[in-house]
Amino acid sequence: MKKILVLFILAFFINTSFNLFAQAPWEHGKLEVAKNSHFIQHADGTPFLWIGDTGWGMMQQLTREEVDLYLDSRQKLGFTVIQAVAHWSPHGGGMQRSPDNAANAYGFRPFTGTEEKPNTAEPLVVKGGTPDKPNDYWDHVDYCINAIKKRNMYLALLPCWASQLISGKGEYTVEEAKIYGAFLGNRYKNEPNIIWMLGGDTKAQFKGFDKNQKYAEFDFRSVYRAMAEGIVKGVTGQTPAWNQSSPAWDQVFMTYHPDGDADFNSSKWFQQDAWLDANGIEVWKEVNEVYRTVLDDYQLGEPVKPTLFLEGSYEYGTYRHECGWVTPVRVRRQFYQTFFAGGAGHTYGAGPIWAMRGDGGDYSCGYTWKEALNFPGAKQVAIIGKDFLLKHNWSQWIPNGNVIAEVGEGDNLKVAVTTANGEMALVYFSDNSNTSVKNILKKEAEAYWFYPRDGEIKKAETFNVNESRNMVPPEKWEDAVLVLKINN
């Protein structure tokens, strides 16, 4: 019995030590755009694989204990980025939207002003508090940032949820946005794990009819540009303009989170801007638009920028369909189509988790956020999918339609990539239908099937050079990846 106990304690110590002393990713250097401009890397050249989770309401909704519960789950699964909002406009989860200066779980509001009307140029900071014993809103934000950092994950930090607070109610003027950006940048300038994400489920500029066929016209580009200028000033002390090339911009990594209209991504408004390092897209319920949307951005130039899939259809969401319409296979399709279109990263989401309040409502058919931590799609993305990408040189992938004869559409879309070194070709089958696959590699290639649901691998017959063959995934597989690989 003593021997068993000793072994248990030793195993616990080794596991705990590994978690505590594992190398933090930022020890490879700051994040930057890779030389080919299609993916993100560290300063030492190590590729950075963005596997994100949407914890939008974490900082405003959760207690410290709940933050730890959530983050422990995401770290264990292997997520590399948590997306959360500093000034959240609480909504979703089956509950009505809260006031724009709503208090957090400890009763602290982010800004001076009233509960309904924040003064966004005056963050409400009270001296004397700590992350573990907060006496203002920002002490708790500090706790969340530290909790993410000690788990070796990045935080994609949205300054505010702009669909409500900028394009919705205009809570931020250009000057207020710059002041608030400088406050955040200065407060967190020494944190190595922060990625800046402007926007928040909204278009920066629009003129026309919205999805409700109501005419709308607005242009808030100047607000976001001012916020970016404020952040870089707070971090670096320098004041480059949004359209001015400057080494100061290299000290902050920035992207933009648009709304769920596949034809309106950050590239539509900010492609030329000096502050925007990577484009962001969101498709919301348009699950069949992922590949096209990412590929459209991939093909842009002047300049070329990486593209991040920042929000899609949440697992177990309904989107005006039956409960659980977004099944795990629909989650996987979004994930693999992102990277097969040349995407630099993908963010997963579970219906009950993003709002972190109520019972999940229509988004998740009554599940709570805690119950959703173990949804199967999260494992299939952050463990199985991430491992597959790392083992198959994802940063070298180049979209290549010459590998397949018929791509299909919708649920049976098939897409392909080849690697930059010409040693591998991969085809993603979104369902169990067939297509003709051609070995366009320069040598004979071994072939095998990979099942994104559980990681199973099945060998296929070797492909001769230029050989074409009708291929269909193994029986009963919902989706599949076919790998052709040269044996050196």
Q: Where are the domains of the chain?
A: 38-395, 400-486
Residue with structure tokens 């001015």? 244
Interatomic CA distance for residues 281 and 273, integer angstroms: 16
Provide mean pLDDT across the span 115-120: 97
Partners of 196 in beta bridges: 157, 254
Partners of 480 in beta bridges: 429
Provide mean pLDDT across the span 81-95: 91
Interatomic CA distance for residues 251 and 228, integer angstroms: 12
More confident residue, 367 or 441: 441
Fold exhibited by the domain 400-486: Immunoglobulin-like (2.60.40)
132-141, 248-257, 311-320: range with lowest mean pLDDT: 311-320
Q: Is pLDDT at 216 greater than 90 in this prediction? A: no
Provide mean pLDDT across the span 436-454: 98
Q: How high is the pLDDT of residue 443?
A: 97
Q: Is pLDDT at 208 greater than 60 in this prediction? A: yes
82-91, 101-110, 212-221: range with lowest mean pLDDT: 212-221
3 state SS of 219: strand
Packed helices 328-340 and 290-298: angle between N→C axes, nearest 10 degrees? 20
Q: Is pLDDT at 3 greater than 50 in this prediction? A: no
Provide mean pLDDT across the span 101-123: 97
Partners of 418 in beta bridges: 398, 425
Residue with structure tokens 């006031």? 99
Interatomic CA distance for residues 191 and 193, integer angstroms: 6
Interatomic CA distance for residues 196 and 280, integer angstroms: 12
Q: How far is CA 170 from the centre of its chain?
A: 26
| Average pLDDT score, the chain | 93
pLDDT digits (tens, 9 = 90+) for 380-396: 999 999 999 999 999 99
Q: How high is the pLDDT of residue 363?
A: 60
Q: Is pLDDT at 313 greater than 80 in this prediction? A: yes
Picking from 112, 119, 115, the residue whose alpha carbon sits closest to that of residue 102 is 115
Structure tokens that stand for 31 in this block:
């994040």
Structure tokens that stand for 39 in this block:
């993916």
Q: Is pLDDT at 9 greater than 60 in this prediction? A: no
Q: Is pLDDT at 297 greater than 90 in this prediction? A: yes
Fold exhibited by the domain 38-395: TIM Barrel (3.20.20)
Q: Which amino acid is at 94?
A: G
Provide mean pLDDT across the span 288-306: 96
3 state SS of 282: strand
Reduced to 3 DSSP states, what percent helix, strand and coil does the chain have, rounded to the nearest 5? 30, 25, 45
Strand ranges across the sheet with 31-33: 31-33, 40-42, 47-48
Do the Cβ atoms of 317 and 268 come closer than 8 Å?
Answer: no
- pLDDT bracket for residue 95 (50, 70, 90): confident
Interatomic CA distance for residues 464 and 407, integer angstroms: 22
Interatomic CA distance for residues 364 and 378, integer angstroms: 15
pLDDT digits (tens, 9 = 90+) for 336-359: 999 999 999 999 999 999 999 876
DSSP code for 112: E
Picking from 456, 484, 459, 478, the residue whose alpha carbon sits closest to that of residue 384 is 456
* Cα-trace Rg, the chain: 23
Q: Is pLDDT at 4 greater than 70 in this prediction? A: no
Do the Cβ atoms of 217 and 206 come closer than 8 Å?
Answer: yes
Query: Fold identical between 38-395 and 400-486?
Result: no
Express as a percent the part of the chain with pLDDT over 70.
94
pLDDT digits (tens, 9 = 90+) for 10-67: 343 334 334 445 789 999 999 999 999 999 999 999 999 999 999 999 999 999 999 9
Q: How high is the pLDDT of residue 97?
A: 87
Burial state string for 96-127 with b = 16 or more CB within 10 A and e = fewer than 16: eebebbbebbeebbbbebeeeebebbebbbee
Packed helices 137-149 and 64-77: angle between N→C axes, nearest 10 degrees? 20
**DSSP secondary structure string for all residues of 76-102:** HHT--EEEEEEE----BTTBPPPPTT-
Interatomic CA distance for residues 378 and 354, integer angstroms: 13
3 state SS of 232: helix
Q: Which residues contact 54 (CB under 8 A, 6 or more apart)?
A: 83, 311, 314, 347, 348, 349, 350, 353, 354
Instruction: Tell how strand 435-438 and strand 468-471 pair up.
Output: antiparallel
Provide mean pLDDT across the span 128-146: 97
Q: Is pLDDT at 365 greater than 90 in this prediction? A: no
Q: How high is the pLDDT of residue 213?
A: 81
- pLDDT bracket for residue 321 (50, 70, 90): confident
Interatomic CA distance for residues 83 and 156, integer angstroms: 5
- pLDDT bracket for residue 2 (50, 70, 90): very low
Q: What pTM does this model have? A: 0.94
Is the preceding peptide bond at 134 cis, omega within 30 degrees of 0? no
